[in-house]
Amino acid sequence: MKIDGTAYRTIWPAQDGWTVEIIDQTRMPHDFAVARLTNLDEAAHAIRAMLVRGAPLIGATAAYGVALAMRADPSDAALEAACARLLATRPTAVNLHWALERMRARLAPLPPAARAGAAYAEAAAVCDEDVAINRAIGEHGAALIREAARGKAPGEPVNVLTHCNAGWLATVDWGTALAPVYVAFEEGIRLHVWVDETRPRNQGASLTAWELNRHGVPHTVVVDNTGGHLMQHGMVDLCIVGTDRTTATGDVCNKIGTYLKALAAHDNGVPFYVALPSPTIDWGMADGVKDIPIEERDAREVTELTGITADGRIETIRVTPAGSPAVNYGFDVTPARLVTGLVTERGVCPAQSLIQI
């Protein structure tokens, strides 16, 4: 993604050759600030506090977290402790588990002296592969948008609805759900994106809107409850969302509220697609509703709203009465029967045909 003419990824090794730089997404959309990770603690904090978020980027950051840990101490004990520490940061995105298992498998057989160098190389490979995978998802998904464009009157845009942020900022580059949008837009297909605000943390309103705006893609931010109304009135041609974990049977776990959009899409005959890289598939899991661990975050994300003032101060205000309890489930599960298709780097397949266990 280009920001003011400069090509950026969301995570990259710094010039010094050992620290790692990220974009601090907690300050967006008001501030484009680069943060530096210098040790395991900072990498774990960046994931837990959501300076970085989105399943593929969480995995990439964890891979670099292991590299930072190995630079400080390449022992067997330190490798195990780093993996355990990073795994505990966020429970739902299976990419975290995938990336840590990959790092462990690469590093454990090596003599400790060789581990730091190999860890940085492996983390870089995780990132490069993510970029290539997402570009391929973009190509396959753009075919769906192209197909929808064929049914449109001349000059009419294809209306895509998306939830949360599964764009460039959620991955190393391109995004998953937004990759098809970017590829189609570059091809010159007229399109417009409905952006769910995605309470409580507003990843749609603050991150997806920021990305699309920077890229020049026409879009409109709507509150989370608007999607059903839009679909009833023929204002959505297809939904495309990302996922944090998809079971081998095609159940899709994604940001809270995705399930409600899938129900509305089903009721209105609107195709509901999920874009995902293969590391987001949990091949060992068959029942998403029963088995996927759902992150429960601080209730204050629900009872409060945080924003940045015009002069750059982060401010938080309370929006609920002091005595009202709140609960904050981060994700929900959409059963495979409500998913029209999975868009992967290998192509598009019906969710229920991923594998029959």
Ligand X SMILES: CSC[C@@H](O)[C@@H](O)C(=O)COP(=O)(O)O
Q: Which residues bind ligand X (CB under 6 A)?
A: 53-56, 93, 164, 166, 170-171, 175-176, 203, 242-244, 254-255, 330
* Terminal CA-CA length for the chain: 39
Residue 112 near residue 79, CB atoms below 8 Å: no
53 in a labelled binding site: yes
**Are the CB atoms for 195 and 221 separated by under 8 Å?**
yes
Min separation Cβ 169 and ligand X, Å: 9
Residue whose pair of structure tokens reads 């996922």 in the numeric block = 243
Residue 41 annotated as catalytic: no
- Choose between 58 and 119: whose C-beta lies nearer to ligand X: 58
Residue 269 labelled as part of a binding site: no
Report, in Å, the least distance between residue 175 CB and ligand X.
Answer: 6
Least Cα distance to 201 among 155, 165, 238 occurs for 165
Buried b (16+ CB within 10 A) or exposed e, 10-42: bbbbeeeeebbbbbbbbbbbeeeeebebeebeb
Query: Which C-beta is closer to ligand X: that of 164 or that of 336?
Result: 164
Q: Is 274 helix (H, G, I), strand (E, B) or coil?
A: strand
**Six token digits for residue 206:** 């603050």
Q: Is there a binding annotation on residue 257?
A: no
Nearest to 31, CA basis, from 224, 219, 330, 306? 306
Give the residue among 305, 329, 333 at the shortest CA–CA distance from 241.
333
If the CB atoms of residues 242 and 288 are measured against ligand X, the closer one turns out to be 242
As measured in angstroms, the least distance from the Cβ of 27 to ligand X is 15
Q: Give me the least distance between CB of 254 and ligand X, in Å please.
A: 5
Rank residues 93 and 264 by Cβ distance to ligand X and give the closer one: 93
244, 251, 282, 332: the catalytic one is 244
How far is it, in rounded angstroms, from Cα 334 to Cα 336? 6
- Which tokens is 182 given? 């970017």
Specify whether the CB–CB gap between 311 and 31 falls below 8 A.
no
Q: What are phi and psi of 263, to 5 degrees?
A: -65, -45
- Residue 37 or residue 166: which is nearer to ligand X going by CB? 166
Give me the amino acid identity at 107. L
Q: Is 152 annotated as a binding residue?
A: no
Q: How far is the CB of 213 from ligand X (least distance, A)?
A: 18
54 labelled ligand-binding: yes
Q: Is 255 annotated as a binding residue?
A: yes
Where in the sequence numbering do the catalytic residues fall? 244
- As annotated, the binding site for substrate includes 53-55, 90, 203, 254-255
- As annotated, the binding site includes 53-55, 90, 203, 254-255
